[in-house]
Each structure stands twice: as C-alpha cells, then as structure tokens.
Amino acid sequence: MGPEARKAYHEELKELKRMVEEMGDLASNAISLATEGFVELDEGKVREVDDIDSKIYAYDRAIERKSLNLIALQAPVAKDLRFIGTCLKIITDLDRVGRYSMDIGKVTERMLGKTHMKKLVSIPHMAQLTIEMVDTAIDAFVEGDETKIEPIYENEEKVDALYDEIFREVLTYMLEDSRNITIGTQYILVIRYLERIADHACNIVERVVYMETGEMIEHDI
C-alpha cells in the first residue's frame, strides 16, 4: 500500500470511529429523553425517542457497510482488524440501547392519562447512571482506554443495587393496594430496561479491552 493509499485508509478508520462516537451520543440522548418522557408522562418526548432510534438504526447500517468494505478492500490485520471488529460489535449494543429506550417510551404511552403513584427519584437516578455508563464506554472506545472498565463496573453495581431497591419498593406499594399493580408493573419494566442498557454499556467497554489488548472478557447479560 502506497503512502497516499495508506493515508486514505487511516482517514477511513478515523471516520469510522467518528460515526460510532456519534451513534453513542444518540444512544445517550435516547435514554435521557425516554426517562424524562416517562417521569413527565410526555408523549412528545416519546416521539423524539422514536426519531432518535431511527437515526441510530441508520448509523448501524452505515457503519456496518463501511466496516465490511474496509475488511473486503483493505484486508486489515492485527489491531486494525480488532478495531473494525469492535466497531461491528459495539453498534449492535448501541442499537439495543436505542430499542430499550423505545421500550421505555412504549411504557410511557401506556401510562398516558394516569398519574404516578409517588414522586419518582430513584428511577431518574438509575437512568443517569446508565447514561454515564454508556458515555464512559464510548469515551473508552474513542480514546482507546481500556482502564475505564473499572468505573463502568462500579456503576453497574450501583445500577443493580437500585434495581433491587426499586423493585422491593414497588412491590410493597402493589401489595398494599391492588390499584397500584398496573402502574407498578410498568415501573418494573422501566427499571428492567435500564438494567439491560447498563449491561450493554459493560459489553462495549469489554470490547474496548479486546480492541486494545486482544484479551477477551466474558460478561453475562
């Protein structure tokens, strides 16, 4: 590969990284809007999440095409091949983040016309932690910094603890008054979706570890 061709190839890799970063930003925005929409029971924000999810899907297809073209035409090896393979895996996780955000939006749609049975504090906090996890994971990818895996795991433990705490609290409300069962069930769905988003953030940073070191880390979701 001549100097000009190599330069063009590295520009393509930079562009690929930029696209994944932008897809990550969209995923974070989707979580934020979906949670705000749920807390405020705002149908408009549900529509915004739907629009963002469509953009996330478009990035997914574009990044996949670019990655496969680079593999087919440039035959990358070693770290470049791990980088492209990581991009292909990360976009699957980000696509799932978008889908879970849409699922939260569907919960909001079912809640329209109703009122929350209590002021929501823990759920927005849980959502903020998942957003931080996704942002940190994408930063790790962009910077090639596998050391960010520890902060991700620390936040995952907080998310899991909040899930258990909120689940028990909601269950108490449901047992105390059967009229809370319908709404309580929706709360449990939302925290389950947020927990799954946190798992996908862990997946992303673990893929970064592989990209940088060649070491595979297993993480059950």
**Pair 92, 64: CB distance under 8 Å:** no
| Cα(69)–Cα(190) distance, integer angstroms | 38
Length of the chain measured in residues: 221
Domain boundaries, the chain: 3-213
User: Is residue 68 predicted with pLDDT exceeding 60?
Assistant: yes
- Per residue in 30-62, pLDDT (tens digit) is 999 999 999 999 999 999 999 999 999 999 999
- End-to-end CA, the chain: 41
**pLDDT value of position 5:** 78
Tokens representing 93 are 């996780």
Is 77 a residue whose pLDDT tops 90? no
Tens digits of per-residue pLDDT, 78-93? 899 999 999 999 999 9
Whether the Cβ atoms of residue 139 and residue 162 lie closer than 8 Å to each other: no
Q: Does residue 220 have a pLDDT over 90? A: no
Query: DSSP labels for 153-177?
Result: HHHHHHHHHHHHHHHHHHHHHHHH-
CB 205 within 8 A of CB 152: yes
Average pLDDT along the chain: 94
pLDDT digits (tens, 9 = 90+) for 100-111: 999 999 999 999
Integer Cα distance of 10 and 76 in angstroms: 11
The pTM (predicted TM-score) of the whole model is 0.94
Residue with tokens 């949670």: 35
How far, in Å, CA of 130 to CA of 147, rounded? Answer: 18
Tens of pLDDT, residues 1-24: 677 878 888 899 999 999 999 999
Kindly state which CATH superfamily the domain 3-213 is placed in.
Phosphate transport system protein phou homolog 2; domain 2 (1.20.58.220)
Q: How far apart are CA 27 and CA 209, in angstroms?
A: 21
89 class by beta-carbon count within 10 Å (0-12 exposed, 13-18 middle, 19+ buried): middle
